[in-house]
Amino acid sequence: MRRLALVAALFAACGIASAQDVLIRNATVHTAGARGTLQATDVLVRNGRIAGIGSGLQAGGAAVVDAQGRPLTPSLFGGVTDIGVEEVSGESATVDNTLALGANAADMQVRPEFDVTLAYNPESVLVPVARVEGIGWTLLSAGTRAGGSFIGGQGGTVRLDGSLDPIGPRALFVSLGGDAASLSGSSRAAQWMLLDQLVDEVRGRIPQDSQFALLTPAGRTALARYFGGGGRVVVRIQRAADIVRLLRWSKQRGVNIALLGAAEAWKVAPQIAAANVPVFVNSLANLPADFDELGATLDNAARLHAAGVRVSFAQSGDASHNARKIRQLAGNAVANGLPWEAALAGLTSVPASALGIGNELGTIAVGQRADLVLWSGDPLDVAHVAQQVWLDGRAIPMRSRQTELRDRYLRNAAPADAGGLPRAYPADAR
């Protein structure tokens, strides 16, 4: 323990350390891949990549950390969030995740070329807050609002390592069902009509200069990447009947979809599995938030997994400021029947594969990026914490604005009457 603390302190002293070679000895390695869990195993990192996994590996000049049997996992997926494109949700100048070019809900603007990743700020305060909890990457989403469209726009996967640009391909975000009905003529039925029109526009059956056209030339180009069977379309959807229609529609039009939310997905799990569609569920949803979620249940993830569906996790509500809770979602899914290994995969390998970055992230395997987390205990148990995070083999300082505020206000200081200042102030300010 003292050696781990010393290594972490040395790295933290110089910020995100430049050293990229490290040997983590004697860990319980949860690979989240084909090799499963490996006991008393070493992981060697060289030049930011995993170079070896086994017993008795030689350091060869790399920094050595003794894990003392503690769990080592890939860095965790933070879910579908607005980290870095939303700083303070109540201050509009810091929120960049939605587009509203129309004056009101009647002025629908279908702009799939809108790309929220262009607003991503890697220096956001939210980045280290999530990172010290073992979150190494997240999927930025494009939301919907009045003056926009049920086609939100494009998002992408970002690593929380200070990089400015996303990793891997973009994803298109679409909202279907009751929540998006106000953006489609006050009827979910109109969403299918409008989707088919967009397909017709992309495939040239409606001229670009038609008075009925919904897309700009740039929008047609952007949408063609998704409505031609290529890029992933992430669909916010809840009701079972809507999910079945989406499965039919996507198969007929050759659209590569993933489900987000999917509170009633368990009802149609065999159809989802047959279509090989991944699902990002909120495994804390057990009460209907609206009429689309009447069938919400805590064992949604377990039932989907049992049917052969690839299950990952995403929060509803304030996912950006509370990304750490993604572990709670996975842990609750385990408590309600999901196998532990499947829950860990839902935070690592499943989303990485679904988002087209499985060759880089999501597993501990030779050649993968060395994005790793050493835990004090079970990573799906919120009683345990991330003790050290490595991104590309660099030890990340385990501090954030929240930890600094905690340390400031817990600091032992003289009573206020001794120096006239509150106890939060350092002694040299008195």
Write the CB contacts of 184 (distance below 8 Å, at least 6 apart in sequence): 108, 150, 190, 191, 194
Neighbours of 16 (CB within 10 A): 16
The rounded distance, in Å, linking the Cα atoms of 291 and 310 is 26
Selection from 397, 395, 373 nearest residue 384 by Cα: 373
Query: Residue 13's pLDDT band (boundaries 50, 70, 90)?
Result: very low
Query: Residue 6's pLDDT band (boundaries 50, 70, 90)?
Result: very low
pTM of the predicted protein model: 0.91
pLDDT digits (tens, 9 = 90+) for 86-113: 999 888 899 999 998 875 545 677 999 9
pLDDT digits (tens, 9 = 90+) for 192-241: 999 999 999 999 999 999 988 999 999 999 999 999 868 999 999 999 99
Residue 7 pLDDT greater than 70, yes or no: no
Q: Which tokens go with 274? A: 């047959």
Three-point CA angle 271, 277, 283, nearest 5° = 90
pLDDT digits (tens, 9 = 90+) for 127-151: 999 999 999 999 999 998 888 899 9
Residue 18 pLDDT greater than 80, yes or no: no
75 DSSP 8-state letter = P
pLDDT of residue 406: 85
pLDDT digits (tens, 9 = 90+) for 39-79: 999 999 999 999 999 999 999 999 999 999 999 999 999 99
pLDDT of residue 303: 98
pLDDT digits (tens, 9 = 90+) for 358-395: 999 999 999 999 999 999 999 999 999 999 999 999 99
Residue 11 pLDDT greater than 70, yes or no: no
pLDDT of residue 420: 58
The percentage of the chain sitting over the pLDDT mark of 90, rounded to a whole number, equals 81
Distances (CA, A) of 69 to 27, 54, 64, 121, 389: 4, 14, 14, 36, 16
The rounded distance, in Å, linking the Cα atoms of 194 and 190 is 6
The rounded distance, in Å, linking the Cα atoms of 139 and 81 is 6
Looking up tokens 């996975």 gives 330
